[in-house]
Amino acid sequence: MRTIGRKPESCISLKSPGETASVHLQTAPSAGSIGAVMTSGSPSAVEAIFTVLMLFYMTNAVSPRAATTVVIVKTALYGLASVFVLARWRVVFRGLLDSKWILVLVLLAAASALWSNDPYKTLRGSSVLLASTAFGIYLGTRYTVSEQLRLLAWTCFLFIVPSYFTALFLPAYGIQHEFAYDAWKGIFMHKNGLAEAAVFAVPVFAFVRPMARWLRYLGLTAAFGLILLSRSATGLIVFCVVLALLLSYIVIRVRLISVILAGLSVGAVLTGVLLLFSPRTEQVLEFLHRTPDLTGRTELWAAVLQAISKRPWLGYGFSAFWQTSSREVVSIHAQLGWIPGYAHNGFLDLALYLGLLGLGTFVLGYLVLCSRAFVHLWQKADLCAMWMCTYLLFMLLYNLTEGSILRQNDIYWVLYVSTAVCLSRRFSRPESPVLGSEIRVGTN
Tell me the average pLDDT across 288-304.
74
Across the strands, what pairs with 25?
10
What SS3 state is found at 423? helix
Least confident of 101-115, 281-295, 392-406: 281-295
Query: What is the pLDDT, as a whole number, of residue 13?
Result: 32
User: What is the C-alpha separation between 409 and 132, in angstroms, rounded?
Assistant: 6
Domain membership of residue 444 (yes or no) is no
Q: How far apart are CA 63 and CA 59, in angstroms?
A: 9
Percent of the chain with pLDDT over 90: 55
Q: Number of folded domains in the chain?
A: 1
Res 62: pLDDT: 81
Q: Is residue 114 part of a domain?
A: yes
pTM of the model: 0.84
Q: The dihedral of CA 69, 74, 75, 79: what is its sign?
A: positive
In a domain, 334, yes or no: yes
Residue 179 lies in a domain: yes
pLDDT score of 276 more than 70: no
Tell me the per-residue pLDDT of 261-270, one tens digit each, with 9 for 90 and over: 556 556 655 6
Residue 442 forms part of a structural domain: no
Phi, psi torsion values for 42, nearest 5 degrees = -75, 155
In three-state secondary structure terms, 12 is strand
Cβ neighbours around 31 below 10 Å, total: 10
pLDDT (0 to 100) of residue 288: 54
Please state, in angstroms and rounded to a whole number, the distance separating the CA atoms of residues 129 and 110. 9
Written as one letter, the residue type at 219 is: G
Query: What is the domain range of residue 27?
Result: 10-428
Q: Where are the beta strands (DSSP E) in 268-392?
A: none
Average pLDDT value over all residues in the chain = 81
Burial of 278-287, coded b for 16+ CB within 10 Å and e otherwise, reads eeeeeeebee
How many degrees, rounded to 5, is the angle at CA 386 between CA 385 and CA 390? 120
- Higher model confidence: residue 42 or residue 56? 56
Residues listed for the chain: 444
Q: Would 440 be classed as within a structural domain? A: no
- Is there a domain that residue 46 lies in? yes
| 358: confidence class by pLDDT, cuts 50, 70, 90 | very high
- Give the pLDDT confidence score for residue 273 in this predicted structure: 54
Q: What is the pLDDT of residues 3-33, one digit of tens each?
A: 333 433 333 333 333 333 333 333 333 333 3
Whether 5 is in a domain gets the answer no
The residue with greater pLDDT, 132 or 284, is 132
